[in-house]
Amino acid sequence: MIWRNFRNRLRARWRPAWWAVLLALLAGGPSSVWSETESGLDLLTRSLLAEGRIQYEGVRKIHVFTPRGERVVRQRVSKGLQGRERVETLSPPERAGELILCDGVNTFRYSPRRRTVWAMPVPPEFQRSASRNLGLQLIRQAFKVAVIGQEQVAGRTAEIIEIRDKENSRLVRKMWIDHDKAHTLKWVTFGPDGKPETSYYFSKINYAPHFAPGLFRFEVPPEVTVRRVHRPGHVDLREAQRLVRFPILTPPPKLPGGYRLMEGRVTVKHIGKNVIVVLYLDNGLDPVTLVQSPCPPHARPLRVRNGDVWREGNLRLVLKGPRYARQALLQKIKGRLRPVAPPREPLD
């Protein structure tokens, strides 16, 4: 008797769910069920985890919308396993031939116009994994992620997700994620005014590529300068203050766009006689850096690409990152930075 009552309650509880699944199958096939039963955050997580586990080659376009007009870059992308990747710029003509190549050990960035190669070691897998996990944690805290529909991108069925700020419901990003491969085929970022700031999408993609031998091996062109870039070490905020003579300025604790100061990740660099401190602000989507260094009263003005420069007291500050991310942050932190602690003598 007890078992019969339990079985009847179980049937009554699950019958509506099974009817929903059946109706979804009849209406739109397995893809409809997939998009409704998997949350937007789950889909975004699978997309991030899939990046290092699938191979493909394709062509993508990047659009950057600025007050001066729209810039379009066309690239050929080849993605292998074990972190190997090759991104070659096809257009515009002044950037054709630019190359980003990762052989799994080092990442090379080549600019034909500058006749220079920058080489940087790839961080170990445990660091990349920790970074992904932290990014997802920040996204979960600051944003709402929802699946809103489907579209065709590069001949593939893609699930569309929206990412909105929890605080004000502002649309931050839309992503089109491959239904079968969980690979991001398209995304659009939006500025504080709700207008698109950047976008990229694949016009062609092939998940069964045949890579030519040596495709992921970098050969240094003749008469090209190779610059080795070493990944800087990190210290926490208090330790960084002990290493420099000037007071490090930090932003207010509550920042727009879900940004947080990474207090355990601060870089102190010595460039000649100059010392600079790099603070990292992150929201899981678009990292931003706040660079500060002592600046003489009559120093020449500094212009930085993708950065905003200003002075506070005897310090020069540079906020670097995507324009749509800098706009809101700059309004919040400019003139409101506070020192960590009184300056101390550096360690010997």
Please report whether residue 305 resides in a domain: yes
Please report whether residue 35 resides in a domain: no
What integer pLDDT is reported at residue 33 of this predicted model?
A: 34
What integer pLDDT is reported at residue 14 of this predicted model?
A: 36
Higher-confidence residue of 345 and 154: namely: 154
How many residues belong to the chain?
348
The residue segments making up the domain with residue 68 are 40-228
Residues 224 and 241 in one domain: no
Please report whether residue 252 resides in a domain: yes
Tell me the average pLDDT across 259-278. 91
Residues 245 and 152 in one domain: no
Please report whether residue 312 resides in a domain: yes
Domain count, the chain: 3
Residues 54 and 182 in one domain: yes
CATH number at residue 135: 2.50.20.10
Please report whether residue 269 resides in a domain: yes
* Choice among 24-38, 157-171, 208-222 with the minimum mean pLDDT: 24-38
Rounded-to-10 torsion of CA 17, 21, 27, 31: 130
Residues 60 and 118 in one domain: yes
Say yes or no to pLDDT of 218 above 80. yes
How far is it, in rounded angstroms, from Cα 122 to Cα 103? 9
Q: How far apart are the first and last CA of the chain?
A: 80
How far is it, in rounded angstroms, from Cα 13 to Cα 17? 8
Strand 116-121 and strand 225-228: the pairing is parallel
Say yes or no to pLDDT of 222 above 70. yes
* Choice among 79-83, 232-236, 249-253 with the minimum mean pLDDT: 232-236
Residues 157 and 57 in one domain: yes
pLDDT tens-digit readout, 284-337: 999 999 999 998 887 777 778 778 999 998 999 999 998 878 888 998 899 899
Residues 164 and 79 in one domain: yes
How far is it, in rounded angstroms, from Cα 196 to Cα 318? 24
Please report whether residue 211 resides in a domain: yes
Say yes or no to pLDDT of 259 above 90. yes
| Element spanning 156, H or E | strand 156-165
Tell me the C-alpha to C-alpha distance, in Å, between residue 338 and each of 98, 288, 292, 313, 321: 41, 18, 13, 12, 21
Phi-psi region of 142 (alpha: psi -120 to 50; beta: other; left: phi over 0): alpha
CATH number at residue 294: 3.30.200.100
Tell me the average pLDDT across 61-81. 93
Q: The tokens of 187 are what?
A: 């995304």
Please report whether residue 346 resides in a domain: no
pLDDT tens-digit readout, 83-123: 999 999 999 999 999 999 999 999 999 999 999 999 999 98
Please report whether residue 315 resides in a domain: yes
